[in-house]
Structure 1
Amino acid sequence: MEDKIKKDIAHLQMQLAGGDQAALKQLYDRFSERLLHFSFAIIHHREQAEEVVADVFIQVWQKRARIASLENFAGYLYTITKNISLNYLRKNGKEKYINIDTIYLPYFSIEPTAVDHLISTDLLRCINKAINDLPPRCRLIFKLVKEDGLQYREVAELLHLSLKTIENQMGIALKKVHATVNISLPVYSPPVNKP
């Protein structure tokens, strides 16, 4: 499924490079909400975060000729969003860098899929609570990796952290979620061949 998503995005990039405004709209629809949350986490102001996202897609349109050659479009969008958000902070005399420990993220919620309907609502509520109880840095990293689909290396570059820090924070997040949920899955035993 992830390969299909990458192919869809690559196809939209090619269309965008050719000047297709519908492709820009589809990319906006796919990424705007995630980028809005990321910008809001940095600047703590919803209206300004909305302007940041609009500016991101204006830049994408202006640089559309180069977009087709990008291998990591999502990482590119997050980097632009971070830079524009930091520029906003600089212009307004606020922080000039991201303090991950003061980042505010909206309440995390796993969206149910067909498979999730098989899981009880209590379990989903428990998982969401465990994720939202994570420390800000850990939760941001978890969100960027699990919800937004960025690779550990991309998150490390985006947040100016070491790859080891990202790995450690993901390990902490997964352990806390597992400990809170306390799920024990049955062990698979292959059928025994009888003579």
Structure 2
Amino acid sequence: MSSKLISLDEPVILSKIAEGNEFLYTQLVEKHWQKVLQHALSYVKSYPIAEELTQDVFIQIWDKREKLADVNSFDNYLFIVSRNLIISHIRKKLIETDSLKGEKLQELFFKPDDQYEFKELVEIINEGAALLQEPRRSVFLLSRMEGRDTDYISNELGIASRTVRWHLLQSLNFLRNHLHQQYNVDLLLLILSCLLFF
């Protein structure tokens, strides 16, 4: 690892990368590559797939590098980006191969004690989603339950990308309020963070 990277504070490094400093970004990738690879490998159990996911993580971070200027902890940011891509990959595999039932997804991410709450939460969210008006319901289901991106949803429903984002924001706000009013949110915060906010 270069002494230049080590000698700079993380906020300075992230700000410079946000401005397009490829040299510092390359060093940051080298520093964190193995950690992300091992994280991905622990879920997908395939080295080539884990390596591809790791590449995708760092490509996405570079593509959205302007966000780095506002990141307080790169480790936390890196964890969120990698977690989201890993979950998205597994969801796509479930859809493509149907080799696992959808309800088994939680087994990959939660302790056994949390799995009952996860199943219960999915039922609660489906109940809340049923209260949404169209096209908001479809936007939510495609985005959060099927893992589709904004461009896919925009093409599928024939609405503008910014409208997709607006409907998604409104649906998430509605469901947060619904959960707050109807259920004990404190017991479900960990699960919510995985299902609703990526």
Normalized per residue, which structure has more helix?
A: 2
TM bucket, shorter chain: 0.3 to 0.5
Task: Report the TM-score, using the length of structure 2 for normalisation.
Answer: 0.46
Task: Report the TM-score, using the length of structure 1 for normalisation.
Answer: 0.46
Higher relative contact order (CA 8 A, sep 6+): 1
